[in-house]
Structure 1
Amino acid sequence: MLLPFKSLCEHRKVHVDVVVIESDEVATAVAEEVAKNSINKLVLGASSPGLFKSKHKGMSAKISVCIPRFCTVYAVSKGKLSIRPSDMEIDGSIIDDTSETSFSSSSSSNYTSTNLTDSSSVASSAALHSSSLPTRQIKALSTINHTFLSTSSSLNEINHYRGQSLDLGRKHVASSSSRNSDIDHIASQASSCGSISDNESWIYDQNSAKYVPQVTKLPSPNREENFNLELEKLRIELRHAQGMHAVAQSENIDASQKLNELNKRRVEESMKMKEIIAKEEMAKELANQEREKYEAAARETEYLKQCAGREAAERRESEMKATHAAKEKEKLEDALSGSTPQYRMFTWEEIVSATSSFSEDLMIGKGAYGMVYKCALHHTTVAVKVLHSNGNHKSKQFQQELEILSRICHPNLLLLLGACPDHGCLVYEYMENGNLEDKLFQKNSTTSIPWFERFRIAWEIASALSFLHSSKPQPIIHRDLKPANILLGRNLVSKIGDIGLSTILNSDDLSTMYKDTAPVGTLCYIDPEYQRSGLISPKSDVYAFGLVVLQLLTAKPAMALTDMVETAIDNGNLADILDPKAGSWPLQETLDIARLALSCAELRRKDRPDLKDHVLPMLERLKEVADGAAHSASIVNLKSRPPNHFICPILQDVMDDPCVAADGYTYDRNAIEKWLEENGKSPMTNMALPHKNLIPNYTLLSAILEWKS
């Protein structure tokens, strides 16, 4: 409500203070404020039409009564001015031109007091006080008009400075004031801003020597004066409205400029925000790239760690293997060089007792270095090799054979059970089927070997030789491989024996050749290069092995055997020279093994194949064929072989007339009768028989006759 008045004062460079007073007693509160601040002049205006006007009717009179006497009170209402002079004015004292004029505006419970310093307002107030009431009213209105004119001129200067024309504003206001409703609205705004209606006036009471409020009615002016007065009021209100419009227009321009500046700043901030967002996106992209690089580097680091771990593990494993191999080699070297025997020691008395003082009945073989006896030691059937008594037991050959056999073990090498070193005796396991030479040439009425067993024997010999050539710490060369030194055990399992001439090479390299003073071995089986140069190598055993395989195929002597087989292959009649007692040979497999044997028996060492890499793989393939044939043959033999209870324990043949003896066993009648004529003990239990009566076993006889039919 006070904004227009405050703006007007600011344009006139008048200092204004707005004070808000809160109190239930308005008049008392205003009076206390006047007394507190020593206010000399107080202007009261009426409240706006409405609730406050009806509620505070007559408030100006109440305030005038309560105001101290040193203050002059001006009450303006509806163009009327009522004055309550102070004691100083009544006494005719001179009012200072520089005194302050206070304006106070009140509402329902809030009143505002305003101090104004203006010499012109004081002068006009004095003039109004000295004249009559109508004249004072006209002069007061003229003073207010002058004030608004000054304000309008100031506003015109401001508008001119901003590039706006005051005439345009006046035309706009004049056009808008042509309507009666607009004029009434402007008049109501002017009256609400600066006047309070009040019908009270002030008179001087001689009894109390002071002015007291009294309701008076001004004399009615003539028509012209009223018209001029109303016209002047309208002009004043119009000027006031123009000033308000100029202020509003100025504020609108300022607001527009501020709005433009704000829009400009908003656009700039938006651009900055976009740049920030773009930079943020770029930073995020760079961060993602860096994170991907970091993850890739981490993965690569992890992979390198794993590789390093695997390499370290492999290195540790290799070191462990190397350490283990070194320890094993050292252990073997210590064992070979040590004095502790690795075999069982037999006494000379045990050997003599077992062989019945070397009875010729127990002798099963005879060689250049000694004789072989079959006997039993510690309930085990063994073969005892006794060297000649001319000091051979102290020879290098005996010591070497004992040293080698006591430290090697292979299923196809003859097993050394013990020895009596003092008398040159070696104790071996007993091989029931003798040697391969006797079997091939059927000495002592031995049975022939089937072809599939010969294939298997060839593979077993090659396996044993490969083991000797790969032994640690040094390779071993047999040097005397031949059919007579290949022994056959139960089920025709072959084992290489007579390793007395073996040579231990001083190098692990199988290509190394050993210089011997004089060739040793058996003629026809000795390597031709070894005979010529005295240099021996593992290929020397390969040459002898080739001849042994050719003998397995043909059952012929080794002399000129290679030429015979090679000629037969070239002529396409290999089957003509094969051993017919071996059965039906598979021609293709036999041709393959014959060519392999010829390649092993080449005259030059470099033309012979490697035993481990070439010979053994082919023999393994041929062994599979032989195993299949052996399985088929075993099924046929089982069908044709008589049951065990058909066999006589004495004759080891099928019984013709089975009968039961006193010991409960069944024998052939003729065989048991001959036995009882010479012995009174059981042939099975070696116990005395209570009687010699025989009981025929007709049930068994019927079964035997049925089997024979």
Structure 2
Amino acid sequence: MEVPEVGEELVSIPPSVSTVAIAVNGKGNCKSALKWALEKFGPEGRYFFKLLHVRPKITMVPTEMGNYLPISNVRDDVASAYRKEIEWRTNTMLLPYKKMCSQKKVEAEAVVIEAEDVPEAISLEIAKFSISTLVIGGSSRSLLARKFRGHDVSSRISGCIPSFCTVYIISKGRLSSVRTSTSDTDERTLDERSDSNVSTKSSSSSTSSPQTEWTDTGSVSNHSFYHSSSLPDQRYQALLTINQAIVNKRPSPFDTYHSRSLSLNTEEDAIGSISNCSGIKDGVSIACSSRSYQTDNKSWISDLVSMSDIMTDLSLSGQVDVDFELEKLRIELRHAQGMYEMAQNETNDASRHLNELSRRRLEEAIKLKEIRLREEQARKLARQEKEKIEGMKREAELVRECAEREASQRKEAEVKATRDAEEIQKLEKALTCSNQQYKKFTWEEIVSATSSFSEALKIGMGGYGMVYKCTLHHTTVAVKVLHSNEEQSNKQFEQELEILSTIRHPHLLLLLGACLDHGCLVYEYMENGSLDDRLFRKNNTPPIPWFVRYRIAWEIATALVFLHNAEPKPIVHRDLKPANILLDRNFVSKIGDVGISTLLPTASSSMSTMAKDTAPAGTFCYIDPEYQRTGKVSPKSDVYAFGMVILQLLTTKPPLALTETVETALEEGRLVDILDSKAGKWPIEETQELAALGLRCAELRRRDRPELKDEVLPMLERLKEIAARAQELVPVVPSVPPNHFICPILQDVMEDPCVAADGYTYERRAIDQLLSTNDKSPMTNAPLPHKNLIPNFNLLSAIMEWKSKHQ
């Protein structure tokens, strides 16, 4: 029979058994059972542990569809793989149990049994190896569920185990029940240990269990081993002695009393058993049990009063010895009073115990409340820490993104800087190369390209010659032809060729070639003509917006600063005017007609920066007044002409008396009235600054004019930035590269233009690849006299300038 809720100390461990079997199935109760067995048997070091695991026989194999197939219907390799998987799962399940044994330094063996009936398989294993001790894990069940424990697996296992084996059932790490073996030695050992650990009692009705193999730790057979008898036992013994004496003398009338007394004792004994079984855990049940004792004693005393009436009747009948019976009743009454006092003492003890338990319960409740409060505080702190960590993570993410963005920007800047440095190096190389060459054209090519200098192709007239638009080598160019039979023209031609072949600037007209025999210069063609034509809207062309005029002023100033700081000698243009400022298709300005430029002597030995010229050159209204009066040329002469150009950019009026008109308008606050309204809505404040700058540049005395590099250029750079921001708001049409920038082979803008033996310019890598397999010109298909290539630095400079502005 199972022992309900018995502590672990009630059970003794047989010292003579050498093998302990533990039934395991991978659940938590099995781990608790093994832990219990290791604590009870392991430390003695005389037991060998055997872990028994029963698994079903492998008869079916699962499929991917969720159903099962008989193992005989699948391939051998599939069945073998499934068996290996089951074995792996079993070994994985048994691994924690083996670790527990190894940690306790206990020798253990795992036995895996394949069977459908778990109790029968374990029973056969126990019988096969004569194992005398079995520990199994039981489920935690209520008192009601224990009445139906026949359906529990642990109960069925214990029912099938051979009688020579002692079975321990463990629930929640504690001994729930035990079934002792039939061996006398084992029973005696168990009784001795039970007697040394706890004293308990059970009613005689508890022996009605159908399984005779089970032994209750509170059965009547163990009654003789208790240290002391309880109060109902003493009362029962006293009543039994009196009853026997009365029955021997007067059996008939006292039978009723004896049966009532015996029934009373039996009920009190049953109440005592229930009280003992409930345990010390519930103080309320103890108090109730004690109060039941008092009630029983009072009812028993009332029975004694009834018995006294019976004794009176007996005395009247004369059938008994009244004195003898009264003496016996007095003894019994004194005994009952003593037992009643004992019951009161037990009731007081139970009350004190109840109060102690209540106090402990209150203390535990307070501790639990504190623990919950601390737990809530810990959770709150954890939430705060979590939020702080998340905030730090977000900050770290932002920092990382910023670092990545900065690294990307830095990398882009480095790449751009590298590319700009390479372009600057190429440009410097092109500008400083001592072997600079320009394309030489024959007179026949010039005549053919201009259709014998047709009037229809004439686009302008310079100071010393006519300008024609034509096409040379598939490139649109402007050809300037000097007047013939004039010594001054020849001198002009030589001077222009010398200057233009040595200087390069993005805002100076690019020289592409020349015909030395007849004094012809070949320039790049500027699609929008001169600034003078665009300002006065020749051929009904659209007006130039104000922000483009701001930029043109800055571009002209940079070109003049470059000329005035040229090495080894500064250069003065002397004929700066809107007619000599040309515009390409994107309205990028370039200064042309530098033929009358004057090379000033170096100032290393003299403080003067002027040169004497007896034949004044230039255009009226743009010539420096001091230059007209003294004939001395200075960079300030170009500053005067530049001031007039600025005023014309603002007003689009003729230069005559323009300075006085603008000055009067500024003084009277009506500058808006003289501005070119077709240029758009001028920014008044910035335009007034630009007009004042133009008047300062057009001062009559040179010393009153500002320095071009230190004063004029910084202001124009600031105005150019304002104009650039305004221009960004206007839709821009993508610019198309000039035709002479396009390689005839690749049909793309050239990066390293070179002139081949046929006179045409190609991309170096394209012409090299072509010449490696062919020696004919790709343009004329005529044999090339040689395969040498000459770098076209002039064209390279123009291409780099175009790229810097449009890419």
Q: TM-score interval w.r.t. the shorter chain?
A: 0.3 to 0.5
Q: Choose 1 or 2 for highest CA Rg.
A: 1
The TM-score with structure 1 as length reference comes to 0.42
